Amino acid sequence: MTKPIVYGIDVFCGAGGLTFGLQKAGVCIAAGIDSDPICEFPFTSNNGTRFIRADVREISGWDLSALYPSGAIRLLAGCAPCRPFSPFRRGTDNSSDEEWALLAEFGRLVEELKPEFVTMENVPGLASKPIFRKFVCDLQRLGYHVVSESVYCPRFGVPQHRRRLVLLASLIGPLKVPTGSLPPERYRTVREAIASLPKLAAGETDPRDRLHRARSVTETNLRRLRSSQPGGTWEDWPEDLRAKCHRKKTGSTYRNVYSRMAWDEPAPTITTQAYNFGTGRFGHPEQDRSITPREAALLQTFPRRFRFVRPHEEVFLARVGRLIGNAVPPRLAFFVGKEIMRVATAHRRGERIA
């Protein structure tokens, strides 16, 4: 077997979506680091590599340096929590949020370690923040070639209308942010991703897959589901089913909740509460229920065999939803990894890097 030439450490690794995709591209991940203990099982059992439970603020570049094998081309990957920068927190000042400073901590690790490659992924809105501009300037000051771009996930074959900010930085040659090549007529759809799963009613669980579990709904929400149109809004409902907030002037702006997905389009962005009909357009296209965590994971491009909970462990929807919704889609991570491998391979061969 050929020895890997790029070894990475995945900071804020979560369930391991980024690691899974990078390893498929040929990057060997030496370790994942996260402060949340529920990440350990999915990260280690699906990726076959080490998990370190630690707060990024309490580790140093020296600590990380010891995890890489001698002579490796090193990658530091870090997708700091996006909650402070999320578009769903419009109109709030999040700069005092303790997670706000984690990007700066990631920058500190880069400066202390000086790996050959750096990558990060976050919500597109981060690009307009001073903390991101400082992060980029600091990388450039250290001698990195830095590129960043907002990418549209359906162009990579991810079946959801997800946009993400991707940054790549290199000390050994210029690289490019992959932007995907699929035209709209070839975007993967909800149907392609989840139509093969067994049918369920609200509140039911597939006996062969505990993650294929539909949340129970109230009688009112069941009536709302039955009145919802794929890709529609709550405006499709009879007047008596509309909530008080929908009748207010401000309610008219919230059209992306309480609705069904459309079969033949990519899904909406999968969030940490995608199992809940009322938090987005997360109604199943034709079954009277919200989508299940397994369906959410497939829409994130996790393989169906991916395990998020230990055998016989109870499946808590909020916990699993957080693991899935916060993850980097593995298919997006794969293309990021391919670009890193392209530059690393050319460097090792002494070739000119375009």
**196-240 pLDDT, tens digit each:** 999 999 999 999 999 999 999 999 888 888 888 888 777 777 777
Segment 258-268 mean pLDDT: 93
Report the pLDDT value the prediction gives residue 83, as an integer from 0 to 100.
Answer: 52
Percent of the chain with pLDDT over 70: 90
Q: Which helix (H) or strand (E) holds 22?
A: helix 17-24
Strand order in the sheet with 73-78: 50-53, 28-34, 6-11, 73-78, 117-122, 163-170, 145-152
pLDDT recorded at residue 255? 60
Which residues belong to the active site?
82
Phi and psi at 129, nearest 5°, equal -90, 140
- The reported pTM is 0.91
In the numeric block, the tokens 């609200």 are attached to 202
pLDDT of residue 300: 98
In the predicted structure, residue 251 carries a pLDDT above the cut 60:
no
Farthest-apart Cα atoms in the chain, separation: 70
List, for residues 132-191, the tens digit of each pLDDT value: 999 999 999 999 999 999 999 999 999 999 999 999 999 999 999 999 999 999 999 999
* pLDDT of res. 354: 75
Phi/psi for 211 (5° steps) reads: -80, -15
What is residue 90's predicted lDDT score, i.e. its pLDDT?
46
Of 86, 91, 50, 92, residue with least CA distance to 67: 50
pLDDT score, position 88 = 42
d(CA 311, CA 331): 26
Give me the pLDDT at residue 256, please.
62
Rounded to whole angstroms, how far apart are CA atoms 325 and 150? 19
Q: By percentage, how much of the chain surpasses pLDDT 90?
A: 76
Residue type present at position 141: R
Distance CA 265, CA 31 (A): 36
**Mean pLDDT value across residues 272-294:** 93
Confidence tier at 48 by pLDDT (50, 70, 90): very high
Number of residues that make up the chain: 354
